[in-house]
């Protein structure tokens, strides 16, 4: 009956659509860098997160080891609390430090994790205490100008 052959073509059409979507997701998009591996959460507090966004990568030695899950504001310490999801098979000592770095000169910002020397490792819910905030360009420039002005002042004396 005609009905069976129609079903086949419709099914083929839908499958083609899915394949196209899969292609877009995997080859064109960044889905392959989604880590479906289990992860554990740690938090870190920063004075200034700059342009850090959720889903930004957490890298150590340049390799992605996790993602920024959430960014919240703590109005008791007036700092930003960043929640990181780190992959389960990567262990970092408790005294590791987290810095907010920029990829390239003006690229997107990510968290760089540097391992410390402690025997104990970070676990679910741990807090990273050593943090370095993002470098804000305007502060740098004003600092530079201030220093320049101070040097010029010293020379005059």
Partner 1 sequence: MNVLVDRITRLGGFVRLNIAGIGHATAMFITVIRRSIGLLKRFRLVSDQVFFLGNYSFVIIAVSGLFVGFVLGLQGYYTLNRYGSEQALGLLVALSLTRELGPVVTALLFAGRAGTSLTAEIGLMKAGEQLSAMEMMAVDPVARVIAPRFWAGVIAMPILAAIFSAVGIVGGYLVGVPLIGVDSGAFWSQMQGGVDVLKDVGNGVIKSVVFGIAVTFIALYQGYESKPTPEGVSLATTRTVVISSLAVLALDFLLTAVMFST
**Residue with Cβ nearer partner 1 (54 or 74):** 54
Instruction: Tell which residue, 122, 48, 32, has the closest CA to residue 84.
Output: 122
**Residue with Cβ nearer partner 1 (7 or 47):** 7
Q: How far is the CB of 22 from partner 1 (least distance, A)?
A: 9
**Residue with Cβ nearer partner 1 (34 or 146):** 34
∠ CA 96-64-91, nearest 5°, is 40
Q: How far is the CB of 69 from partner 1 (least distance, A)?
A: 15
DSSP secondary structure code for residue 107 in this structure: S
Quickly count: other Cβ atoms within 10 Å of residue 87's Cβ: 16
Which residues lie near partner 1 (CB under 8 A)? 3, 6-7, 9-10, 13-14, 16-21, 23-25, 27-34
For residues 50 and 82, the answer to whether their CB atoms sit within 8 Å is: no
């Amino acid at each position: 009956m005609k009905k069976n052959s129609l079903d086949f073509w419709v099914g083929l059409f839908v499958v083609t659509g899915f394949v196209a979507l899969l292609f877009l997701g995997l080859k064109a998009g960044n889905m392959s860098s989604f880590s479906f591996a289990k992860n554990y959460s740690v938090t870190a507090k920063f004075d200034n997160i700059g342009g850090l966004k959720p889903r930004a990568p957490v890298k150590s030695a340049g390799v992605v080891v996790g993602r920024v899950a959430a960014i919240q504001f703590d109005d008791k310490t007036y700092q930003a609390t960043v929640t990181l999801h780190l992959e389960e098979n990567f262990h970092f000592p408790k005294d590791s430090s987290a810095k907010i770095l920029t990829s390239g000169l003006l690229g997107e910002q990510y968290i760089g994790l540097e391992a410390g020397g402690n025997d104990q490792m970070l676990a679910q819910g741990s807090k990273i205490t050593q943090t370095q905030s993002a470098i804000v360009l305007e502060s740098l420039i004003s600092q530079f100008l201030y220093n320049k002005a101070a040097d010029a002042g010293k020379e005059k004396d």
